[in-house]
Amino acid sequence: IYGGYNQTKWLAEQLVAHARTLNIPTVIYRPSLITGSSETGHWNQADVICRIIKGCNLMGVRPLLNETLNLVPVDYVARSIAHFAKERPYQSD
């Protein structure tokens, strides 16, 4: 597995899988691309998507793509995960 992010993601999922073998309830959340706050607009300025949007805005251009981005504000993701964490995890058979 190449890249630190992918390596740590793989390792974390292996740890979760091991926890399941010990009958520890687990859930893995995979949110879409997380953006800045919907309330303040604050965003990690080093994030590649943030840089692309900022660069396009500064140049007054946009990429011609046939793709859509599923962007989700960080405060929404945080509230959602906190809500789901209070519920009983999914139990597979």
What pLDDT, on the 0 to 100 scale, is given for residue 39?
A: 94
pLDDT for residue 92 is more than 60: no
Helices (H), the chain: 4-21, 48-59, 74-85
31-82 pLDDT, tens digit each: 888 999 999 989 998 988 899 999 999 999 988 989 888 999 999 999 999 9
What pLDDT band is residue 89 in, cutting at 50, 70 and 90?
Answer: low
Query: Residues 10-25: what's their mean pLDDT?
Result: 93
3-state class (DSSP) for residue 33: strand
Calculate ∠ Cα 50-6-73, nearest 5°.
Answer: 30
- pTM across the whole model: 0.69
Spatial separation of the C-alpha atoms in residues 24 and 15, rounded to whole Å: 11
What pLDDT, on the 0 to 100 scale, is given for residue 90?
A: 58
